[in-house]
Structure 1
Amino acid sequence: MDLAALPLDTEALLAGLRPWIECESPTFDAAAVNRMMDLAAADTAAAGASITRIPGPKGLGDCVRATFPHPRQGESGILVMSHLDTVHPVGTLAKLPFRREGSRCYGPGILDMKGGAYAGLQAIVALARAGVATPLPITVLYTSDEEIGSPGTRELIMEEARRHRYVLVPEPGQPGDGVVTGRYAIARFNLAAEGRPSHAGSRLKDGRSAISLMARQLLAIEEMTGEDCTFSVGVIQGGQWVNCVPTSCRAEALSMAKRQQDLDRGVERMLALSQREADGTGFTVERGVTRPVWEPDEGTMALYRQARDIAAELGWDLGHASAGGGSDANFTGAAGIPSLDGLGLLGAGYHTLEEHIEVGSLARRTRLIAGLLARLSD
């Protein structure tokens, strides 16, 4: 099969991708995520798949499983796994509209990872149009909470992944046009500071500010960052009345390490920050969602080598690396299921108002995914 001859037109792909980008879907807005799932389910059903709608985690959006017709349907095959939630709140389109500027195309979630999710679907469509039968059956899974660590979908992800021989994840590609064969370990933490109330005007010294206590701890946490393990705080909420000394403040922290043992030590350091004073004030750290380190094994490297050969046919040298930032491949790769991540589009600025893709990567990465679907076998 000549992958370069697959019927893929960049302008048509961009036109099809646009509704996905303009359907905003921040994780914590279940109704918005469900609108995105409706759209993706409809497009995937139109491509010939049977759709199963899976109720989402409490307070979050649904998930969608799509199975494509195949003589070996029900047997172990290929899982193409994407998340359709983003970090961008509804209304971001006003500041970051879908637009093309030269070799770039902008929009909320276009790189992380709706562009890759769409490319995965279009790879299946292109093979069908070309009359190419895949050796293995294909299932697509769209999930709804990856941007918060997949706390509600991890069990679903692993249940589905264990039914398959290979897992392909079209998260953003690596700089230099590479893919991801491993991921760092990540832990999230819930932080709580408890203060003592008083009137901020007449009795200020009688109180103890939970916000001040939290602020001191946040500085200490971020100063713990070293070469082996990073620490950052990304969410903080506290106080209600400016004339009251605040009695509570909450925050969320993130730690990341290349090796599991380094993360484990980081977790111990974080948990050791918990303290309680005799007057009831104090600071508490609770461990939240954790993604295990994913180190490439032979199954993943064999999968990478097939992708490298396909890329070579298409005219480029496909590199690979372990990457920071979590993905659902942390779970599948760490469990020993051959997984290849970073198959999605190239670009930059994800999680910011400069998020964009390199337009030229859209058809190229779709061909790469199509080549894997067409050639992976028992």
Structure 2
Amino acid sequence: MLANQIKDYLQLHLSDMMELLKELVNCNTSSDFKPGIDAVGEKLAREFEKIGYSTETLYNDNCGNSVIARSEGNGSRVLLICHLDSVFARGTDCIESFKIEGDRAYGNGVVDMKACLVNCLYALKALHDLDVPDLPGITVFMSGDEEKGSLSVLDRIREEGRDADWCLVTEGSRPGMAVVTQRKGNAYIHVHAHGRAVHAGNEPQAGRNAIEELALKIARLRGLNNYDTGTTFTVTTISGGQNRIIVPEDASFYADMRFYTMDEWKRLKSSLEQILSKPDIEGIQLSYELTLNRPPLTLVNGTDKLHKTVKESSRELGIPWLTSQPGGVSDGNFVSAEGTPTIDGMGPTGGMMCSPEEFLEISTMVPCGSRLALTIMKLGKL
């Protein structure tokens, strides 16, 4: 049974996988540190070339380079989404070195997503070394600035998504090796109020309090939250004022919004525009910038067939079929928006992502890598 052959192959190479993971974790790949991202990209490009993949580097002066690895196949096309950069919670000068304690491996980016990169590489190594026939065409897209929105390669991601029949995002799976079947879209807004500064003791009534204006607006905007449908509006930063005895002339806040459908985004956008169309305090000047960051990763035509394939692969490997619909986003959101069936969370499991306590569950490397390889093989036969 091929599932067992793949699993045995990865188990045999687990020590090699962990050694490569150690090398990647101990390399600073913060989104702000281009040399480290580029070094990891070059390393992985060489590894993919060893198994016959052609590689292309997308150079960028302002962020890490991105890498595409490609293998020809039987005509159908599978896109694998990864990223090379990481979040370093305490800054680029504070890298947590790789270490293992029991079943857990620790270090910056260990699961988001360096273990996922290793698993992706070795899943494809298994298919190559086991000489599995009739594979689909495979494209591995490794963004160099995903943690900052993949802005440097966004158009290329969309292009590759349109050209693919299926997309597998190799971000980490959720507890129990659950795959991600949907992700929320997200947007953000920056709101600024400009009023009039006066002495707070002598004549506050002559002032126009920018902080109070935003407080009134925030109270109304909180009503956009609908936890039953997963829609959230969260104020994340706020600033204003210059002195404790002066009515604040300027104030601003940023807010994050999450939603599961584009229809919900349209409703949110309309409500925001209505609430912010005029100030509550006469004489205040109100302005805002609204940005749609990522559309939702949602169910499109063909998704059922993709889910069925991953479910079959899970069953053959003895992995429970568990699913998750988290609020975080990935580059898979962009591909889904192009109408390509997409499933996320195809990497190994861990936790505490983007924190100094980030960890990988080592025991999920082989089963999750096997599921990824088996799913790719099955997609080539659809």
TM-score (norm 2): 0.82
Q: Which residue is equivalent to 2:265?
A: 263
**Aligned mate of 2:316, from 302, 313, 317:** 313
- Distance apart, 1:259 and its partner CA: 3.5
Q: C-alpha distance in 1, partners of 2:54/2:263?
A: 42
Q: Which residue is equivalent to 1:94?
A: 94
Q: Which residue is equivalent to 1:322?
A: 325
User: Residues 172 and 234 from structure 1, CA distance in 2 versus in 1: closer, same or farther, beyond 3 angstroms?
Assistant: farther
- Distance apart, 1:376 and its partner CA: 2.0
**Do residues 370 (structure 1) and 370 (structure 2) align?**
no
Structure 1 window deviating more from structure 2 (147-156 vs 75-84): it is: 147-156
For residues 30-55 of structure 1, the C-alpha deviation after alignment (integer angstroms, 9 at most, x for no partner) is xx145213312322323313322224
Is the CA contact (8 Å cut-off) linking 1:26 and 1:89 kept in structure 2?
A: no
Query: Tell me, what secondary structure is at the counterpart of 1:52?
Result: strand
Structure 1 window deviating more from structure 2 (350-359 vs 146-155): it is: 146-155
Is the CA contact (8 Å cut-off) linking 2:187 and 2:292 kept in structure 1?
A: yes
The number of residues matched between the two structures is 371
Q: Which residue is equivalent to 1:186?
A: 186
Q: Which residue is equivalent to 1:353?
A: 356
Query: Tell me, what secondary structure is at the counterpart of 1:367?
Result: helix
- Distance apart, 1:170 and its partner CA: 0.9
Q: C-alpha distance in 1, partners of 2:145/2:218?
A: 26
For residues 289-326 of structure 1, the C-alpha deviation after alignment (integer angstroms, 9 at most, x for no partner) is 24333332452221222222222221222223433222
- Distance apart, 1:164 and its partner CA: 1.9
- Distance apart, 1:215 and its partner CA: 5.5
Q: After the TM superposition, which residues 230-241 of structure 1 pair with which residues of structure 2 at under 5 Å, given as runs? A: 230-236=232-238
Query: Tell me, what secondary structure is at the counterpart of 1:177?
Result: coil
Unaligned runs of at least 5 residues, structure 1: none
Structure 1 segments, 4+ long, off by >6 Å, are 198-207, 239-246, 277-280
User: Residues 26 and 94 from structure 1, CA distance in 2 versus in 1: closer, same or farther, beyond 3 angstroms?
Assistant: closer
Query: Tell me, what secondary structure is at the counterpart of 2:287?
Result: strand
Q: C-alpha distance in 2, partners of 1:22/1:242?
A: 47
Q: C-alpha distance in 1, partners of 2:165/2:211?
A: 50
- Distance apart, 1:375 and its partner CA: 2.9
Is the CA contact (8 Å cut-off) linking 2:208 and 2:283 kept in structure 1?
A: no
Query: Tell me, what secondary structure is at the counterpart of 1:139?
Result: strand
Q: Which residue is equivalent to 1:63?
A: 66
User: Residues 365 and 7 from structure 1, CA distance in 2 versus in 1: closer, same or farther, beyond 3 angstroms?
Assistant: closer
Structure 1 window deviating more from structure 2 (245-254 vs 349-358): it is: 245-254
Structure 1 window deviating more from structure 2 (303-312 vs 186-195): it is: 186-195
**Aligned mate of 1:341, from 324, 332, 344:** 344
Amino acid across the alignment from 2:112: D
- Distance apart, 1:144 and its partner CA: 3.3
Unaligned runs of at least 5 residues, structure 2: none
User: Residues 14 and 196 from structure 1, CA distance in 2 versus in 1: closer, same or farther, beyond 3 angstroms?
Assistant: farther
Q: After the TM superposition, which residues 194-205 of structure 1 pair with which residues of structure 2 at under 5 Å, given as runs? A: 194-196=194-196
User: Residues 244 and 139 from structure 1, CA distance in 2 versus in 1: closer, same or farther, beyond 3 angstroms?
Assistant: farther
Q: C-alpha distance in 2, partners of 1:151/1:220?
A: 32
**Do residues 19 (structure 1) and 20 (structure 2) align?**
no
User: Residues 197 and 152 from structure 1, CA distance in 2 versus in 1: closer, same or farther, beyond 3 angstroms?
Assistant: farther
For residues 193-219 of structure 1, the C-alpha deviation after alignment (integer angstroms, 9 at most, x for no partner) is 334456899999876565565456445
Is the CA contact (8 Å cut-off) linking 1:20 and 1:40 kept in structure 2?
A: no
TM-score (norm 1): 0.83
Is the CA contact (8 Å cut-off) linking 1:271 and 1:285 kept in structure 2?
A: no
- Distance apart, 1:141 and its partner CA: 0.7
Q: C-alpha distance in 2, partners of 1:181/1:205?
A: 54
Query: Tell me, what secondary structure is at the counterpart of 2:172?
Result: coil
Q: Which residue is equivalent to 1:171?
A: 171
User: Residues 284 and 317 from structure 1, CA distance in 2 versus in 1: closer, same or farther, beyond 3 angstroms?
Assistant: same
User: Residues 338 and 279 from structure 1, CA distance in 2 versus in 1: closer, same or farther, beyond 3 angstroms?
Assistant: closer
Q: C-alpha distance in 2, partners of 1:26/1:211?
A: 35
- Distance apart, 1:230 and its partner CA: 0.7
- Distance apart, 1:134 and its partner CA: 5.4
Is the CA contact (8 Å cut-off) linking 1:312 and 1:318 kept in structure 2?
A: yes
CA RMSD in angstroms, aligned pairs only: 3.3
**Do residues 125 (structure 1) and 128 (structure 2) align?**
no
- Distance apart, 1:108 and its partner CA: 2.4
- Distance apart, 1:139 and its partner CA: 1.4
Q: C-alpha distance in 1, partners of 2:246/2:18?
A: 53
